[in-house]
Amino acid sequence: MALKLQLFILRKEAKMKDSDSKVIKVERITPVSRSREWKTLYFEHGRPGLERIGELKGLCKHCVLRETCALPKPAGGVWHCKDYKTLAKKSSLYENVIQQLEKAANIVHSDRDICQILAATMNEIIVHFPVKLDDGQVKVFTGYRVQHNNALGPYKGGLRFHPLVDIDEVRALATWMTWKSAITHIPFGGAKGGLQINPADYTSEEIEKITRRFTFALGNNIGPEYDIPAPDVNTNPQIMAWILDTYMTTVAPNERNRCLHVVTGKPIESGGSQGRNKATGQGIVFLIEKWANDNGFNLKGAKYMVQGFGNVGSWAARLMKKNGSKLIAVEDVSGAIHNSAGIDPDDLSDYVKNHGGVVLDYPKAQPIDKEAFFSAKADIFIPAALENQITAETARLLKVKLVAEGANGPTDPDGDKVLQNRGIDVIPDILCNSGGVIVSYFEWLQNKRSEFWEMDEVDRKLHKMIIDAYERVRETARKYKVDWRTAAQIVAISKLENVYHERGIFP
Ligand code: NAD
């Protein structure tokens, strides 16, 4: 839709809202990406919020983000919208992916035909399915599964439940999965999926129904030897168990016990692996230890800060503790907290579990704003939340020596330039958070072979695979005199290019 027309609709709708739901003014339009018909920033009751053009409905009287707000709904029903700045800045992730690919391909003069293949996703599945909610109302949901590439093995990648999930984001995340598998030498391709919902809006029973209907709608587009989902933002082992159970009921009875590996990240009793829950955080900490060792940096007493205190962030924070490092600041969807004397990550994890999954009001630290969080005096920053958090603006505030990217795509291209110019080391996402897919691979293997590995064995094998990948990236960075993100990309595309050359293009 042309921007002029968007503006017109926007003004018209804002006017309507003015009368019936007290939207006070339209602040600005942010056409964030080519694939989105974009976002509008409103102020309502003095609170900022976002809404999608053409989808203005059911507004909460406190927050126009009612339909898309990522924040948990607190008791009393008042909605937050503090992270509107983050949302407004969401740019096209897939464009970032293509930029990264082009940069690396130009350096190593990759075969343009192969680049053309790698720049496109193989399959994009969009499903719409109805679910009867607890109150009897029927709602139609939209789910995505993007399969980027399977040259190296079955498609593999997480499922995300989040209000900002869209096809652009899923394409980017699927492509990064292909690179991750290639760098770590795992026999998987890349895929990703998601549902555009705010899980906080639904009861656990409704989430189960939504998950099962989504799995049913995907049908044979997933499968243990074809495409294997795993947890990502707002999905967890319980959700994986529901996917497994639903998938099993759709196959012939004599096949049912041969498809345990249709998902990874399952609870241990349902075929999960020891160490999968902590795997991404564990991989990040192995890499930080290796970086410290390579750079003669003492982790004992070093200060670190973490953004996102979910699966990845909380495990990384807790596992850093054994090095004698000190967690001094944490930010999640509810806000940021700081304590220069140190925050005990185990204590904070217990608090978060008992307080709606968020760090808000943690009594042993002081609340700070976003700017103060990014400006905190620390040595290491572990972003483990969402994309595009390290922008040119926030990268300038950072005081750290190392950014260890736990999240996928936490740094946008402008932020990346600032980090490079300031000499801040970066362990890039496609290497740094690959511990998750490595242990998913171990889970898949154990299920196929009816084996069960002890934690020690999982940790030892994870350490070897992720450190080997680190060394491949480090040597490539030295060889081509490039930053580590580009080096990691070169490792991935070179491997895929070789495979395509060996096999040729059918027919
Ligand atoms: P999660 O749902 O367990 O946790 C997400 C965390 O991010 C929560 O603490 C949430 O409060 C916080 N958050 C959300 N929006 C935020 C915002 N605007 N500002 C600050 N914090 C915000 O998800 P997760 O599984 O820990 O995944 C986190 C990141 O790691 C994602 O980018 C995901 O793709 C990536 N990742 C996850 C895995 C895995 O195994 N789970 C593996 C590789 C990469």
Residues of the chain under the 70 pLDDT cut: 1-91
Which ligand 1 atom sits nearest the alpha carbon of residue 234? 2
pLDDT in tens, 142-159: 999 999 999 999 999 999
Radius of gyration of the chain (CA): 22
Active-site residue, 192 included: yes
pLDDT in tens, 64-77: 333 444 444 433 33
The yes or no reply on domain 124-270 and CATH 3.30.70.580 is no
The residues that bridge with 123 in the sheet, in sequence order, are 147
Give the model's pLDDT for residue 91: 58
From 358, 386, 411, 441, mutation site for ligand 1 pocket: most ligand atoms within 8 A of C-beta: 386
Instruction: Determine contact, residues 337/330, Cβ cutoff 8 Å.
Output: yes
Give the model's pLDDT for residue 298: 98
Give the model's pLDDT for residue 311: 97
The yes or no reply on domain 103-120+273-493 and CATH 3.40.50.720 is yes
Domain ranges of the chain: 3-88, 103-120+273-493, 124-270
The alpha carbon of 160 and the centre of ligand 1 are apart by a number of angstroms equal to 10
Q: Whose alpha carbon is nearest atom 27 of ligand 1?
A: 233
Give 223's DSSP letter. Answer: B
| Same fold yes or no, 103-120+273-493 and 124-270 | yes
Q: Give the binding-site residues of ligand 1, using a 6 Å CB cut-off.
A: 70, 83, 86, 231-234, 280, 307-313, 331-333, 358, 384-386, 406-408, 433, 436
The alpha carbon of 27 and the centre of ligand 1 are apart by a number of angstroms equal to 29
- Complete DSSP assignment for 378-444: -SEEEE-S-SS-B-HHHHHH---SEEE--SSS-B-HHHHHHHHHTT-EEE-HHHHTTHHHHHHHHHH
Which ligand 1 atom sits nearest the alpha carbon of residue 434? 43
